[in-house]
Structure 1
Amino acid sequence: MGISGGLPGERTRPWLLVAHVAIGWGLFAVLILHVVSGRNPVWATLSSYALTDGGVGLLGASMIAIAVGSVALLGALRAAGHRLSRTTRVLFWAWSSGLVAAALFPASYPERFNPVSGQIHEYSCAIAFLSLAALGWTLPERLRTHPAIVRLTLLTLGGVALFGVSYLMPGVLPVGLSQRLALAADIGLLLTIARAVAAPVLAPEPQPERVPG
């Protein structure tokens, strides 16, 4: 049994292309930021990379790119014929909007003190993480019950729980590592959904006719 609502078709392919390019560019920008920052990725949060020269723009661009890719994925789901619930659409937009808001309002640090921006950044990140952790449970049944999506949905839930513990109890877990694990699960879920949308429905093989006699 396939997991897509139909063949991708001409309307679905452009959405999937935009989703893959945007998410891929966002990941590439984060990789470049890691290379040029010199920070310890185990303990340093991604938000702190904004303190690097040019870090605000590069980090913000990567988050906005992933948000654009996520919206494109939502478009691909609808173009493929999946009937999405209002909850699914809201969670997609909450995840994407949270990323954009977090990009526009950097975290506050003593070196760049802005408590209002810092508060908006924290709440936006929380909304984004929690929204994607819940998204997998609301997908149409053909997607929701697929083994790979089930595993990634559980990983996103575990990732946000792990990051929450490390954030609320510093020193118990490396906050930078737990955040990256959570983000890896999030991106993995998005890409797995994209692959599911692109997969054709497997038609049942025709049974040979029995010849009486």
Structure 2
Amino acid sequence: MEISGGTKGDRARPWLLAANVAIGWGLLTVFVLHIVSARNPVWDTLSSYALVKGGIGLLGASMIAIAAGSIALLAALRAAGHRLGPATHVVFWTWSLGLVAAALFPASYPERFHPASGEIHEYACAAAFLSLAALGWTLPEPLRTHPAIVRLTLLTLGGVLLFGVSYLMPGVLPIGLTQRLALAADVGLLVTLARAVAVTAPAKPRERVPS
């Protein structure tokens, strides 16, 4: 007869739960920040929400939670048995550390003028956005060719291009809206990847024992 032990997908499940909870908490925190703020989500960037009372804490908590969820997702991919190349690790860590750095060093505004912090914030955000736009192409099979992941990979690339245009050419596009579209594509890619991991996890090879 044939027996099989727990699959690698089973070992990935706690990491997937942690990833979904952390990312979900980050999204909830951003939603609360929008509710308590009177800023314009179409024209105001998320970074500007740090000017709202309590905004630095809420925004920072959201970014750090999503970063933690992303690292948990990386651990889930490894636990599920997917062979990840160096590029995938670099992308995950650049995205996550970029979010953490952006959370720890808020953007600089006339109302809260900190030029050094503002520069770190801008470079950290740029690194995070650009790295995640490349994530889909670094994934192993069958994740890289998963239809939903392919679509969201293209959306992340389109989102970061639109945000780049709105940032470099103010007034051409509403920067707040393009940033949120880019972030929605990024988070959508992470959540979809988390869902795909469970069903694409290579099963543990079965061992044949004498009956």
Give unpaired runs (5+ residues) of structure 1: 1-5, 204-213
Compute the displacement of 1:9 (Å): 3.6
Q: C-alpha distance in 2, partners of 1:64/1:131?
A: 17
The equivalences for 1:137-152 within 5 A come to 137-152=137-152
The equivalences for 1:32-71 within 5 A come to 32-71=32-71
Residues 64, 99 of structure 1: 8 Å contact kept: yes
Counterpart amino acid of residue 48 in structure 1: S
The equivalences for 1:74-85 within 5 A come to 74-85=74-85
Runs of 4+ in 1 over 2 A off after TM superposition: 6-10, 200-203
Q: Give the equivalent residue in structure 2 for 1:168.
A: 168
Residues 99, 124 of structure 2: 8 Å contact kept: yes
Q: C-alpha distance in 2, partners of 1:49/1:191?
A: 25
The equivalences for 1:1-213 within 5 A come to 7=7, 9-199=9-199
Residues 12, 76 of structure 1: 8 Å contact kept: yes
Q: C-alpha distance in 1, partners of 2:200/2:132?
A: 25
Counterpart amino acid of residue 10 in structure 1: D
Q: C-alpha distance in 2, partners of 1:87/1:9?
A: 23
Residues 8, 199 of structure 1: 8 Å contact kept: no
TM-score after normalising by structure 1:
0.90
Name the CA shift for 1:201/1:134 in 2 (closer, same or farther; >3 Å). closer
Q: C-alpha distance in 2, partners of 1:86/1:202?
A: 20
Counterpart amino acid of residue 84 in structure 1: L
Task: Write the deviation string for residues 169-190 of structure 1: whole angstroms up to 9, x where unpaired.
Answer: 0100000000000000000000
Compute the displacement of 1:198 (Å): 1.4
Q: C-alpha distance in 1, partners of 2:180/2:8?
A: 32
User: May I ask how many residue pairs the two structures share in their alignment?
Assistant: 198
Residues 67, 97 of structure 1: 8 Å contact kept: yes
Name the CA shift for 1:8/1:27 in 2 (closer, same or farther; >3 Å). farther
Q: Secondary structure at the match of 1:121?
A: helix
Q: Give the equivalent residue in structure 2 for 1:207.
A: none
Q: Secondary structure at the match of 2:142?
A: helix
Identical-residue share of aligned pairs (%): 79
Residues 20, 69 of structure 1: 8 Å contact kept: yes
Aligned residues: CA RMSD:
1.5
Residues 133, 156 of structure 1: 8 Å contact kept: yes
